[in-house]
Chains A and B, each alone.
With several copies, the nearest count.
Chain A
Amino acid sequence: MSYLYGGQQQTINPQNVAMAEQELEMVTDTFQRIVDSCYKKCIPTQYLDGELNKGESVCIDRCAAKFFKVNEKVGAALAQKSQ
């Protein structure tokens, strides 16, 4: 979309932009997967009311923390394999 930058003197390095885009996508993708996984693990689908009760709230916190830990373990295992 270079027409956006008609008046600018600075040139955009497409590699910098691609790197930032990649990183952004990675964070969003991970977030979306946490949202889906922890909903399945922590929220019963009867919907007896619209509140998050204590048990659900605690489950969400732990679920997010555990997802990050799994992320870390998998990352370390992949890094080791690729050595």
Chain B
Amino acid sequence: MDFSTFNDAERAHIQRLIEQKQMRDFMKFYTGLVERCFNDCVNDFTSKALTTKEETCVLRCTEKFIKYNERISLRFGELNQELMQQQAATAAQQQPGANP
């Protein structure tokens, strides 16, 4: 997205929106991680204590999901950048005179 036509007040407002979104995204990441590891690891309801097996599973699941999230975020960033460059190139080609 091209912000160059936006004024400072607009940019400051959008910056604030992005920060709020990041806090909300982290929260969703956290609650989503808990739900995922709970669902995948906890299946014994004969007691309200976590079994050793469940606890080990939850810790591995957490560790793995953090690494998963890092890797996929990286890839997502790269692919998104590529896409934006492609779109910019296509837009430039469609400008009058850009294509001899």
Contacts and interface: CB of A to CB of B under 8 A. Distances in A.
Contact of B14 (A17, A28, A30, A64): A17
Given A8-B9, A28-B21, A77 B59 contact: yes
Given A41-B45, A66-B42, A50 B28 contact: no
Given A5-B9, A12-B9, A67 B38 contact: yes
B63 A16 contact: no
In terms of DSSP, what is the predominant structure of the interface of chain A?
Answer: helix
B contact residues, range: 35 or more
Query: Which of B21, B24, B68 has most chain A Cβ within 10 Å?
Result: B68
A67 to B, nearest CB: 6
Interface of A: 4-5, 8, 10-13, 16-43, 45, 47-52, 56-75, 77-78, 81
Given A18-B20, A24-B18, A47-B41, A66 B34 contact: no
Contacts, number: 168
A66 B45 contact: yes
In terms of DSSP, what is the predominant structure of the interface of chain B?
Answer: helix
Contact of B60 (A39, A50, A69): A50
A73 B62 contact: yes
A66 B38 contact: yes
Contacts of A68: 79, 83
Interface string B12-53: 011011101101110110111111111111110111111000
A33 B64 contact: no
Query: Which of A11, A22, A27, A65 has most chain B Cβ within 10 Å?
Result: A65
